């Protein structure tokens, strides 16, 4: 590879394999953060640019998956903080939200769950998205969010309680 294409120690094939392995999970996570498929695709592209530029600094102290998801989370957070994003109308359509549901859950219950997750405070939403949607363990999530595993455990339990309360309340009101 020449210097214009990136770090010389990274082969094009190895980078392409990273993209193939992590593109879809990353896109799902970005969509859950940004609530807009086009923005999620932009975030994925930006994430992989950052990954490519940072590959020589990757120490291997965590898995490539954890590292890439951490960059993706930070990219989404940067986009959420941007002035343009705060003034852009990004209403999510619950039907577009792909929520892993139990086999016996009704579509209405799945939509309720998706809406409840989107309404959680960021620190709880982060943990739910990474734990249930990216199938990451608490240590990996702690690495991504730069906090302790015990904090992640508490946040996960609290998020589950909040979701349970919201979903129970929603069904009782009907």
How many domains does the chain divide into? 2
- Tell me, what CATH number does 157's domain have? 1.10.10.10
pLDDT of residue 50: 93
On the CB side of 106, CA atoms within 13 Å amount to 4
Q: Are residues 143 and 171 in the same domain?
A: yes
d(CA 98, CA 31): 10
Q: Are residues 87 and 153 in the same domain?
A: no
Q: Are residues 44 and 2 in the same domain?
A: yes
Last residue of a domain, which of 33, 61, 91? 91
- Per-residue pLDDT tens for 127-163? 998 898 888 899 999 998 889 999 999 999 999 999 8
Which of 18-27, 67-76, 77-86, 93-102 has the lowest average pLDDT?
93-102
pLDDT of residue 80: 84
Q: Are residues 53 and 126 in the same domain?
A: no
CB 79 within 8 A of CB 62: no
**Residue 4: is its pLDDT beyond 60?**
no
Q: Which domain holds residue 78?
A: 1-91
d(CA 91, CA 136): 28
Cα 140 to Cα 41, 69, 151, distances in angstroms: 23, 10, 12
pLDDT category of residue 85 using cuts at 50, 70 and 90: low
Q: Are residues 57 and 104 in the same domain?
A: no
CB 79 within 8 A of CB 43: yes
């Amino acid at each position: 590879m020449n210097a214009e294409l990136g770090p010389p120690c990274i082969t094009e094939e190895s980078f392409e394999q990273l993209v193939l392995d992590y593109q879809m999970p990353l896109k799902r996570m970005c969509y859950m953060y940004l609530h807009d498929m086009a923005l999620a695709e932009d975030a994925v592209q930006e994430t992989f640019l950052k990954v490519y530029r940072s590959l020589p600094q990757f120490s291997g102290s965590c898995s490539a998956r954890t590292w890439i998801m951490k960059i993706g989370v930070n990219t989404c957070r940067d986009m959420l903080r941007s002035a343009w994003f705060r003034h852009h109308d990004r209403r999510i359509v619950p039907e577009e939200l792909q929520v892993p549901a139990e086999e016996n859950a009704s579509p209405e219950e799945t939509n309720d769950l998706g809406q409840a997750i989107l309404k959680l405070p960021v620190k709880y939403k982060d943990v739910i998205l990474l734990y249930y949607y990216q199938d990451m363990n608490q240590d990996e999530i702690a690495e991504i969010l730069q906090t302790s595993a015990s904090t992640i455990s508490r946040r996960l339990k609290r998020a589950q309680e909040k979701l349970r309360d919201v979903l129970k309340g929603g069904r009782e009101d009907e």
